[in-house]
Each structure stands twice: as C-alpha cells, then as structure tokens.
Structure 1
Amino acid sequence: MERELHQAHPQNVDFKNGLAISYLKLGETHTALGNMNEALAFYKQDIELSKELYETYPQNVDFKNGLAISYLKLGETHTALGNMNEALAFYQNCNRLEIELYEAYPENVDFKNGLAISYSKLGQTHTALGNLNTALALYEDETELFEELYESYPQNVDFKTGLAVSYEKLGETHAALGNLDKALAFYEQDVELSKELYESYPQNVDFKNGLAISYLKLGETQASLGNLGKALAHYKDETKLIEELYEAYPRNAFFKN
C-alpha cells in the first residue's frame, strides 16, 4: 500500500516518509527473525528514501533523526554480518548526525541518549577492529553522557543499564590495554549498578546474568593483580548466580557453558 501510494504520488512527502518507515519496520522484523540479508535489503531501501527526505528538507528534525536511525540500523546489520568496515562507515554517519541534533537541542533527552548509543556502537566497532585507544576515547564520551542522563533521571532503568554497560566497556578496554587498576575501578562501578538493577528486578534474567558477568570481570582483574582471595570471592558470587540461572533455564547453552 505505501509503495503504491508513493509511486502514484512521488512528490507527496507523507507517502514517501510512510514508505521509508515501512521498509524500516520490515528490516527490523527480518532482523528479529534472523534473516540478516533480507533485513539489509530493506534497510538499504529505507535509507535511500530517508536520504532524499533529509536532503530535500534539511531543517526537518524528524527526517534528520530518521536518517540517523537508518544509518544505525545498517551499521548494526553489517556488524551482525561481520562486515566491520562497512559498519564503521554507517556508525560514523549516524554519529555525525547525532552530534548535530544534540548540539542543536541539548535539552532533548532522546537526542542525548541517541548520541551516547552512537558512541557506544563506534567504540564496539573500533574494539572489534583492534583500535583500542580510539575505542577508549569513544567509550569515555559515551560514559560522560550516560552519567549525565542517569544523574538527571536516576529512576530510568535504561539509563542506569546503559551506564553500567559503559563502565563495563571501559573496564574491558583498560584491561586489554594493561591498565588493570583503572579496569578494576570501572568494574567496581559496574558491579555496584548491576547489583542495584538485579535487586530491584530479581526476576529479570538479563540483570541477573549481567551481575554474574560483572563478578566474573572483577574476579579476573583481581586475579591478574595477584589478589587471589578477592578473586575467589567474586568467582563464588558469579558461580552462585550462574547455577541459579542454569537451574531455571537448563536448555540455555550460554548458562550451561
């Protein structure tokens, strides 16, 4: 229907935008189904229209934000397909637009969160490509934004989770660079937030697993620093949680491993 409307009225902005959204939704659905090549094809059709809309109406904030989301989706899909250089290019375009949106509307929480996510995606991609110092700088930018978001909205679970993950990424990157004391400090901040999330939502499997991973990271870092007693305590905390997860979900291969 949206395609027919656009074909019949190619100059109608609403129909063009509606078709772009349809392609985006089809891409998301194929992504959820694991059909990544099909998703990629729809995201490409989405971004073609989203680019045209933004280029024609560069002052339209919704079209600019829509294009940023399109770049993000293509980056995520290329990441899933293992095309890291292609993913990097799309994430860079997304980040460029997110910076402009946030600078123009610094009080807009969605744009601030979007910018933080774009830094995270870039950091993860540079990590995968082995560019650890570049990744570290991006994770620092991400963390700064999530700290501000969490400070302003301490009851927002997504911001709290985002900050915990940011601390974990900083810990992992410092550990990979050999900065174990710095890694330890970030892992301690991560586990503090992860404990609060799990205690607030004890039935949330992701939070329980996240806390287990946080204990594991602390244990590994303490072991590397020679603090074996502390490492053992963290490993015990991790094991308790993983045993509970495996007992509740015995078919889950990740918990079994």
Structure 2
Amino acid sequence: MSSSSGSLLQDHGLSTQSKYAEFCAIGSAQGLARWLRTRMISAHLDMWGVEPGTKNVINLWVELAEGEITLEDSCPPKRTVNVASVNIRNKSGQVLLESHQEMGDGSIRFRNRPLSEKMKAGETVEEGCKRGICEELGLVLGSPDKIELLMDSYEKKVEERDSLSYPGLLTCYVVHSVDAVVADLPETDFFTEEDEDGRINGNHGFSFSSSGTREKAIGVKKHFWKWVPNNAPEQET
C-alpha cells in the first residue's frame, strides 16, 4: 500500500529508450507487423484477430500509439502494460466483475475480473480508474460524481504471462488495484455498451494485411457485469 497512490504515474521505463521499440521508426501498423515478423514465430502472429477473443496487429499499434504500452526490443518482444483495476463494491459487500465481453467482430472474450483499464503514459492511478469507470459503465453510471475511489486501499501487483489477446507475446502486467463505491448501479447482472470499435478506428483509420485485405482494430461492443461474493476467486484472462 502506498500513501501517495493517488499521484502515482504510469511508468513505462522510457529512460532506457534504446531497449524499446521506437514508435517513430515503426511508423504504422504495417511497420509494426514487419517489426514483429523479425522477432516472433509467424504461427503465433497468424492467430491474431483470427482465433476467437484475440486482437490483431492494428490493436497493438493503437496501444503503442496512444501510450498504453511499451514493447521491449527483444526476441520475442515483451509488452508492458500498466492496468488500473477497480474493485467496485455494493452495500452487501459484493464485488462487481466483468464476466465477458462481446467484441466488434461478434466473438466473445471471457474475463471474470474487476473493471480494468490500460493506463496511458503520465496518467495517475486515480485518473486511470475514473476514466475506466466512465468508459466501461457509460450511461449506467450517469455522472462521474457518483464515483468514490478509496485510495487507501491501493495495492500493486506485477506478473508476467503470455497474452491471450496476442498469443505468443509475453506481457508484463503492472496492476494497480483500488477499491471503489459507485452509487446507483443496478443490483442484478447487467451489460453496458461501448463504441470502442468506432473510437479506435476513427482515431487511427484502416491498415492492410500482408495479403491485401482491408482490416481494422477489433473493439469491445458490450461489457457484461455480475455481482459476486467478495471472496470469489478471480480467474486468469
């Protein structure tokens, strides 16, 4: 726990920039695809955006372009992402979990974890948590004034594992967890809609695969939420 958790910044370790993929040198999603081809097993890359629940190279490019990740220049590369994880509790002490997501391509990604949001470079934990709540709960939330973050509950956990979104890409997850109370949420299971597909493709446009087919990033269309007992085990995703 940290007494200064509210001012914690997203830290990508850019003081050692030479270790990381150079954003300007890569230049585009196509450039990133070429960069990855020289550092990863092709069979892994060919699964991206094809296997249900996975994302594609354009998604990874958006993450890099928006400062949400770093990619270590190694073989294979290592992706590092700081995650703001919010344990939203109700009056009964239950915790809100995202059970699954419906993606823009119709596939389902199973989650079974608290509301989580990738933090951007320079963003505080408090800012990342509030932005994540607003983006993922949307109209169900109504007003940001309903959010109360309990910053004294702050905890940090670091783990490395293969990414389910990008098979074969080792990822270091730096998880910043905070408890929260959000007023007037539904008392039963519910879902929210997010135009992530339109937002990320509207900002970054289209790219083309090596086969010449038109592709775009795969965004989240719906989030499905459920209340569970506080001691329910969190599943890996």
Q: Same fold (TM over 0.5)?
A: no
More helix by share: 1
Instruction: Report the TM-score when normalising by structure 2.
Output: 0.25
Instruction: Report the TM-score when normalising by structure 1.
Output: 0.24
More strand by share: 2
Q: Which has the larger radius of gyration?
A: 1
**Structure with higher RCO (Cα < 8 A, 6+ apart):** 2
